[in-house]
Copies of this chain bind each other. A is one copy, B any other.
Amino acid sequence: MGRLEDPVSAKPTILDVARVAGVSKSTVSLVLQKNPIVSEGARSRVLAAIRQVGYVYNRNAANLRQSRSNAIGIVVNDVTNSFFAEMAVGMDMIVQSAGFVQLMAHTGESVERQAEVLSAMLEHGVSGIILSPARGTRAADLKAHMAGPVPIVLAVRDLPGLRATTVVADNRAGSHEAARHLIGLGHCRIAWLGGFPDTSVYQTRLSGLRDAMAEAGLLFEEAYAVESNASRPGGVQAMGRLLDMPGHPMACMCVNDAVAFGACDGLRGAGLEPGRDFAIVGFDDVMGARTAVPALTTVATDPEAVGRRTAQILLHRISSGDVRPETITTPARLVVRASCGEPWSAGPVAAAGAVPEMR
């Protein structure tokens, strides 16, 4: 049978519309731009013609002519991670309401893929880019792009050594608040689980705990800072090592929620119920613990809020031309889902071999 030569296969342009409507192509263009200068009669004829010929606006041509773009690029390290997915949704809200379209791409935590994606977006002429950097991104990887004419704002992860505008969560304040919460419940010894001291999250979050304890006249014992991979298995392992220490604390803070997950697993493996027998605090940023572990008390950064804030900042840079690097902080709030005070309570705790806390 073969396909017949299709006379309509060439996409209609404003010229076709103009012909059908019986006006000039300037008029069509004016109508498309909703310019009120066009007479109502001409306008409706054009609109009818557009429908009739099945015209679809070629925004790339328009952008080329106007040498501007209505697109903003969002480069996310991992859409699969609900924190970043929700953040992207927040960005979308703002970007959309500002009349831009969002081009979203994801790097899967690959630095090479990130470079490709960034170039692609730049070649496509986006007006600005929000980048949530892939793990392992070095300042040098981004330097060239940061120097270019299109504004790039970093979200969530900061890159030491890069002069860039970055929106990060207020990790120290969140951690501090969580620690005060635990102290308020009566815990005078609190452990720290997971992560490694050479990362900025570890330092910042642990410092919140340290400071809060110091302010309350308590001592943070370094022995109870248990390092591990910042993963769920890491959390299991760290909790195991903590529980092996005689007279260990019955409260801990975890470097992130993956570790908190694992710590809960480890706790249950030892016959303890998190949030009842042992106070445990996580940070909502890796696994979306929000929905998954209802009993877990967490320091939460609202991902949508981060997204909205970041997008606002990018839009501002685009319109103002401002390029001074700046670090912006979004609030982290404590979400208490299980209280676990009375750390001296007997019962399962005692059964697990823990020494009651001293007040």
Partner-binding segment picked from A122-130, A171-179, A209-217: A122-130
Contact residues in B for A113 (Cβ distance below 8 Å): 96
- Chain B: CB-nearest residue to A113: B96
In the bound assembly, the distance between CA atoms of A291 and B120 in angstroms comes to 33
A358 within 8 A of B: no
Question: CB distance A124 to B59 under 8 Å?
Answer: yes
Residues of B near A321 (CB, < 8 A) are: 3
Interface size range on A against B: 35 or more
Please pick, from B54, B80, B96, B124, the residue contacting A85 in the complex, using a CB distance under 8 A: B80
Instruction: Tell me, in angstroms, the Cα distance from A291 to B92 when the chains sit together.
Output: 26
Instruction: Give chain B nearest CB distance to A51 CB in angstroms.
Output: 10
A65 CB to closest chain B CB (Å) equals 10
**What residue of chain B has the Cβ atom nearest to residue A71's Cβ?**
B124
Q: How far is the CB of A238 from chain B (nearest CB, A)?
A: 19
Q: How many identical chains are in the complex?
A: 2
A61 interfacial contact with B, CB 8 Å: yes
Contact of A148 with B56 in the complex, beta carbons under 8 Å? yes
Flag if A101 contacts B120 (CB, 8 Å).
yes
Write out the residue numbers on chain B whose beta carbons fall within 8 Å of the beta carbon of A24: none
A11 and B149 form a contact (CB under 8 A) = yes
A114 part of interface (Cβ distance < 8 Å): no
**Which of A15-23, A103-111, A131-139, A242-250 faces chain B?**
A103-111
Q: A54-B148, A104-B104 are in contact. List 11 more A-B contacts (CB 8 A).
A: A56-B148, A58-B125, A60-B69, A61-B64, A79-B104, A82-B288, A88-B106, A92-B106, A101-B105, A102-B105, A103-B104
30 contacts between A and B (CB under 8 A): A9-B149, A11-B149, A54-B148, A56-B123, A56-B148, A57-B123, A58-B123, A58-B125, A59-B120, A59-B124, A60-B63, A60-B69, A61-B64, A79-B79, A79-B85, A79-B88, A79-B89, A79-B104, A80-B82, A80-B85, A80-B89, A82-B82, A85-B85, A89-B106, A92-B108, A103-B103, A104-B104, A287-B291, A291-B292, A292-B292
Task: List 6 A-B pairs, minimum CB-CB distance, nearest first.
Answer: A104-B104, A59-B123, A292-B292, A60-B60, A79-B85, A57-B123
